[in-house]
Amino acid sequence: MPPAPQPILIIETGQPVPSMRRHGGFPHWIRVAAGLRRDDAHVVDVEAGQTLPDADGFAGIIVTGSGAMVSHRLDWSERCAAWLRDAAHAGVPLFGICYGHQLIAHALGGEVGDHPAGREMGTVMVETSPQAGDDPLFAGLPRTFAAQATHLQSVLRLPDEAVLLAGNGHDRHHAFRWRESAWGVQFHPEFGTTHMRGYIRARADALAREGTCPRTLAAAVGAAPWARRVLRRFAALALRQPRPAPMQ
C-alpha cells in the first residue's frame, strides 16, 4: 500500500473573539475554507504552550491569526518564529494569515509594528502586483478583489528576497511570497461574511471611538471568493493535488 499522505499542520496562535467562538476556532474555520478533510490537518496550539513537531512530517504549514501582537515578542511567539524560519529555509510550504503573515515576515527578517493609519476592518479591496501573475497562488486573480480584513499591526518592511503580491491604499503589504514556498496574507481568506460581521460587532465600541460607524461597516460586508481561492490553492499545492480550476 502507498504511504498515507502527509497532513497540513495548522499552527494555532490565538482564539477568535469570544462572541464568535460558538462557530469554532481558527483552525476549524481554516480547514473548512481550505476544503480540507479532518484527516488532512493536524493542529498545534502554540499560544497554549503545545510543542511544535518536526516540520518535515507535514505537507505544508498554515499559521492562524491572533489577538496578540507580533511586536510584543511574547516567548511562545518568538519560539514559533524561530521554528518557522527553519521551516522556511528548509523549503516546507508555509502560509500565514494576519498574525501568521506578520510572524513569518518577522521570522525572515522583516519589520512588523503598529500601522501608522490605525485599524483596517471590513470587506476591503486588494490590488495584485505585476509579480502576482507568475505566482502559484495569485496567478489569474482579478487585478482587484475583495477580502476580509481586521488588524492594527502590519508588515512595515518585507523580508529580503520577498516578492510583493498584493496591497491597497491602507496596507501596501497585504500579501507576499518569500523565495518559492512561503506566503503571507494580511487579509483573512478563512472569513465568510458571518465571521466578518461578527468581528465588526465585537469591535463596535472601538470603531465608534475611532470615528467609524460599525453599522455602516457591517452593511458593506460582502463575499470574498477570490481571497478564499488563494487559501484553497495553497492547500492544493501543499497536498500535491490539482490546482482548482479558474473561477468563471
Residue-by-residue pLDDT tens, the chain, 248 positions: 556 679 999 999 999 999 999 999 999 999 999 999 999 999 999 999 999 999 999 999 999 999 999 999 999 999 999 999 999 999 999 999 999 999 999 999 999 999 999 999 999 999 999 999 999 999 999 999 999 999 999 999 999 999 999 999 999 999 999 999 999 999 999 999 999 999 999 999 999 999 999 999 999 999 999 999 999 999 999 998 443 444 43
In a domain, 247, yes or no: no
**Choosing from 151, 174, 188, 195, which is the catalytic residue?**
188
> Is residue 98 flagged as an active site residue?
yes
In which domain, by residue range, is 205 found? 8-238
In a domain, 202, yes or no: yes
Residue carrying the nine cell digits 477580502: 147
In a domain, 3, yes or no: no
> Is residue 188 flagged as an active site residue?
yes
Residue carrying the nine cell digits 496596507: 171
In a domain, 111, yes or no: yes
The number of folded domains in the chain is 1
**Choosing from 80, 170, 190, 195, which is the catalytic residue?**
190
Please, are residues 15 and 21 in contact by the beta-carbon 8 Å criterion?
A: yes
In a domain, 246, yes or no: no
> What pTM was computed for the model?
0.95
Dihedrals phi, psi of 8, to nearest 5 degrees: -90, 135
In a domain, 13, yes or no: yes
Which CATH number is 142's domain given?
A: 3.40.50.880
- What radius of gyration do the chain's Cα atoms show? 17
How far is it, in rounded angstroms, from Cα 143 to Cα 55?
A: 34
How far is it, in rounded angstroms, from Cα 47 to Cα 207?
A: 27
In a domain, 63, yes or no: yes
In a domain, 243, yes or no: no
**Choosing from 12, 47, 80, 98, which is the catalytic residue?**
98
> Is residue 190 flagged as an active site residue?
yes
